[in-house]
Structure 1
Amino acid sequence: MAEILVVVDMQNDFVSGVLGTQEAFDIVPQVVGRVVDGLNRGETVLFTRDTHEADYLSTQEGKHLPVPHCIRGSEGWEIIPQLQEYAAHPIDKPTFGSQYLGSLLRARDEDLRRQGQPGVEKVTFIGVCTDICVISNALLAKAFLPEAEIVVDAACCAGVTPESHRTALRAMKACQIAVEHEGETD
């Protein structure tokens, strides 16, 4: 069974830096455990990395969130130390959702089907922020792979606030994205 685990934006700025939250800090052990478990089970593990340039404040996002973060090359841009060994080639994304990730998922699905295999059957998302980048990428995956099971592991996600995390989980459920371990985050 072809399964992919996507670790969204587990970067210093979102965990302990300028946009860090206690909730993001608290999920680190679960995220590390889920990555190790996924690798041991043969899942393909992909990492995304929020990536902005020095002109961030002049961008559309910077005008709405005037907090410079994840500036390419900065310490805050780096994947957290606990996950660096697993994130050799993160997918840099300049906005919430990654079109490249969607294309990569579709290409993997097509490659498997050409080989006579069922294709990508399941894509699981973990990371931060549930209500911004996790939801954006999960919905993109659903659009690129409409027949794959798209899952969000709530126990390995954190939102900007606990309430916005729960709201995002409800929105994803409405879009036929499975939510696992939801009660473990409250």
Structure 2
Amino acid sequence: MTTLENRPNTALLVVDVQVCVVKEAHERDAVVANVGSLVEQARGERVPVVWVQHSDEHLVRGSDDWRIVPELTPGEAEPLVEKNYGDAFEDTNLETVLSDLGVGRLVVAGAETDACIRSTLHGAFARGYDATLVSDAHTTGDQSEWGAPPPDQVIAHTNLYWTYQKAPGRTAGTVATKDVDFGGTS
């Protein structure tokens, strides 16, 4: 249903599952395991896996904290998009990568729920992509000392509102890891 022409394929977009980003994240191990399961499923179905990796003044490119968590290993042929803003499309080559792969539908997992996941979902949706959030494959740290709700509530709220996201010619929604259907893409 994407509004992007000639983009029949789906990709798994793995956002910022980096050592420092998920170090103290809510249910870190379960979420990383779910992301790993999605990566295996996508690879088995020949669905592109696109990795996103954040850096900024607090998360220095090339540092140990910046690296993808050791439980996950991007494949040599899998694109890795480096970003400096919350929205993985902002000032990156993500759109080009997805266009080259014929992708119009994204299945999104990663961190942090209340920052880069939300920004990237909205960025994708506004650009015409169908965007599905994997409800049990995203996480965030505890930002409650700055006024945010506890992480479990942030995750639950994000799942709630993304389930009902709507726009003309595009689909959104949430799905659990066990129910992900990449939809017979090439």
Q: TM-score range by the shorter chain?
A: 0.7 to 0.9
Q: 1:173 aligns with which of 163, 172, 175?
A: 163
Which structure has more helix as a fraction of its residues?
A: 1
2:80 aligns with: 90
Aligned residue pairs total 154
Question: How far off is 1:31 after superposition?
Answer: 0.8
Partner deviation per Cα, 1:21-46 (whole Å, 9 max, x = no partner): 24223211111111010011111110
1:108 aligns with 2:100: yes
1:155 aligns with 2:145: no
Structure 2 CA distance for partners of 1:90 and 1:174, relative to 1, 3 Å: same
**How far, CA to CA, are the matches of 1:71 and 1:95 in structure 2?**
14
Percent identity of equivalent pairs: 18
Amino acid at match of 1:126: A
2:11 aligns with: 4
Which ranges of structure 2 fall in alignment gaps of 5 or more residues? 1-7, 142-150, 167-171, 180-186
SS at structure 2 position matched to 1:30: helix
Amino acid at match of 1:32: G
Q: Is the 8 A contact 1:49 1:90 kept in 2?
A: yes
Is the deviation greater in 78-87 or in 149-158?
78-87
Amino acid at match of 2:54: D
Which has the bigger relative contact order, CA under 8 A and spacing at least 6? 2
**How far, CA to CA, are the matches of 2:60 and 2:81 in structure 1?**
15
SS at structure 2 position matched to 1:140: helix
Computed over aligned residues only, the root mean square deviation of the Cα atoms, in angstroms, reads 2.4
Q: Is the 8 A contact 1:48 1:92 kept in 2?
A: yes
Is the deviation greater in 93-102 or in 40-49?
93-102
**How far, CA to CA, are the matches of 2:27 and 2:125 in structure 1?**
26
**How far, CA to CA, are the matches of 2:108 and 2:123 in structure 1?**
12
Q: 1:144 aligns with which of 122, 127, 132?
A: 127
**How far, CA to CA, are the matches of 1:78 and 1:95 in structure 2?**
17
Matches within 5 A, 1:21-100: 21-52=25-56, 56=57, 68=58, 70-86=59-75, 89-98=79-88, 99=90, 100=92
TM-score for both structures, normalised by structure 1: 0.73
